[in-house]
Structure 1
């Protein structure tokens, strides 16, 4: 196996001792086969007699998965890095501040101040909220847990508040990033005439839990429907981050990101105006479809007609989606 692949497996197995050791043994065997005897001997000695089992400060040990919360959360391994996202200047500043604050947490708490740990992400679909939560978890070195809302919201409405309590108890004990996507499904405005009384009680419980919790890591909630949130939700979060559709500068940067490993036979920047109002997810679909079209035609490069056809398909998709929304 290629050395790079082995190193990726080694890092991915961090925190799982048996798997980590097995990959480390593979790396040592590879070095022995290459006759790198001194290095192999040194690696084996370190593996057998670790000097001091320490973890980087940013990486949190995992507690056993509690049965109480295990049904409602799923651990996700981050696969993206900060190079895979385009943020507005304001959001870059916000996240840089959050990271600095987290890394200086001990000094801040010593002075009797709290580190910001409850974040609300707002904005239209496809503009980077979920991706940002993943990358943020990787940057702070904490495991990412996604809340499974379909299981959390019990068909027996009286159980939903109990389920939420279990979830918040887990977040209080486990240093992690706990991510609620489509948060509006839980935190809808209580004055909505269409809401059931029991659901209003769920919102009441949710607000109390958010208010009282001091998570061991971060609580992040994301919504596409910020106007549907109960007004009392907003003050429970220490930071609200807005993810808007990209402007021309961000579109230019994102096109460069999507086509960075591709030979181009045209200048994508000439199409920036055509992408105004598109989300990152929509732009990504256009780019990926253009690349696939070039592959199917066995071209060495992606050409303007590939991109323009993909753009036309995305516009058709948007029109069809608008029709469906209007019917509903």
Structure 2
């Protein structure tokens, strides 16, 4: 606090010290206070702040080197919007507790888990879990813009990678790298050229050296395509599978918690086994829209059955395309 007051009038220094205070409160699990402080700092135009704060840059000046490759992800979901298996719930709770005791653990000379790999088919909760996890940690989430990161110019992709890892080292955040297989594809794949093999070599080195102030989360739908050396670089691998009947029932209750129904939606769980969460959500939304279109107050079983048939037709079309390719 003394350093904060002493830095009055020096915008960058003031903001950096304020951020350190906020991070400390987040680690102590004082999430409400931390969020209030962060909001106040970002809304520098408030009359309670010094006049010079009105023109300040975003929280911790965003490095020019990384600005083309990462973007802020604003949270739109909470723990009420995600359904996890018991094993995944246990892992996430353990990670949260460990993060909040970072200093105590490090004082004992022990490492803190901070590099996570999410694996599983599309639509099974990897991205939403990363978002909710970041919100529970009280850390901002940044997504890597893969289309910008992978350069058409030989040698530039590895240089771009260095910039995002430098960003993750300096900025307390959750850095989310989706479609990780695009960068970490097996070097044994004969279809890949030497430049991409060099990118994987650089990626392995950067992950090894990274000691983030928050978390690095990489996610992939194609875990079988990853280079064999990637796996040991991550502190934790979390698997996201298609939900079983029990998880589907929980998901249906969650989706219809504020919606009137003329039947028990959980009786439909067995018909949705083999669907991803994203597919089940589409079924729910389509069934609810039917009541709006027909100006009814409740969802009926025929609405839900029709939505399931539509989703099965969609799945069958995708299967035919996959078979043709």
Residues 72-113 of structure 1: per-residue CA shift (max 9 Å, x gap): 000011111111100000001000000000001110011111
Q: Please say if residues 258 and 287 of structure 1, whose CA atoms lie closer than 8 Å, have aligned partners that are also in contact.
A: yes
Cα drift, residue 62 of structure 1: 3.4
Alignment of 1:137-156 (within 5 A): 137-156=134-153
Are 2:136 and 1:136 equivalent residues in the alignment? no
Deviation per CA, 1:247-273, whole angstroms, max 9, x where unpaired? 111100000010011000111111111
Counterpart residue number, 1:166: 163
Deviation per CA, 1:46-95: give whole Å up to 9, x if none: x479xxxxxxxxxxx93211110100000011111111100000001000
Matched with 1:324 is: 321
1:312 equivalent in alignment to 2:318: no
1:104-115 correspondence runs (5 A)? 104-115=101-112
Q: Which residue of 2 aligns with 1:66?
A: 63
Q: Deviations over 1:4-60 (max 9, x none)?
A: xxxxx98994431335x27xxxxxxxxxxxxxxxxxxxxxxxx479xxxxxxxxxxx
Aligned 1:272-283 pairs, distance under 5 A: 272-283=269-280
- 1:295 aligns with 292
Q: Secondary structure at the match of 1:231?
A: coil
Shift of 1:309: 0.4
Comparing 192-201 with 266-275, greater Cα deviation is found at: 266-275
| Corresponding residue for residue 16 of structure 1 | 42
CA RMSD of aligned residues (A): 1.7
C-alpha distance in structure 1 between counterparts of 2:173 and 2:38, whole Å: 17
Structure 2: distance between partners of 1:145 and 1:268:
36
Q: How does 1:239-278 map to 2 (within 5 A)?
A: 239-278=236-275
User: When the two structures are superposed, what TM-score results if normalisation uses the length of structure 2?
Assistant: 0.85
How far apart are the structure 2 equivalents of 1:232 and 1:246? 29
Conserved in 1, the CA contact under 8 Å of 2:42 and 2:59?
no
Q: Structure 2 matches for 1:71-150, cutoff 5 A?
A: 71-150=68-147
Q: Is the 8 A contact 1:157 1:199 kept in 2?
A: no
CA-CA distance at 1:179 after TM superposition: 0.3
Rounded Cα–Cα distance in structure 2 between residues aligned with 1:320 and 1:139: 38
Q: Report how many aligned residue pairs link the two structures.
A: 284
Q: Identify which of 171, 184, 188 aligns with 1:187.
A: 184
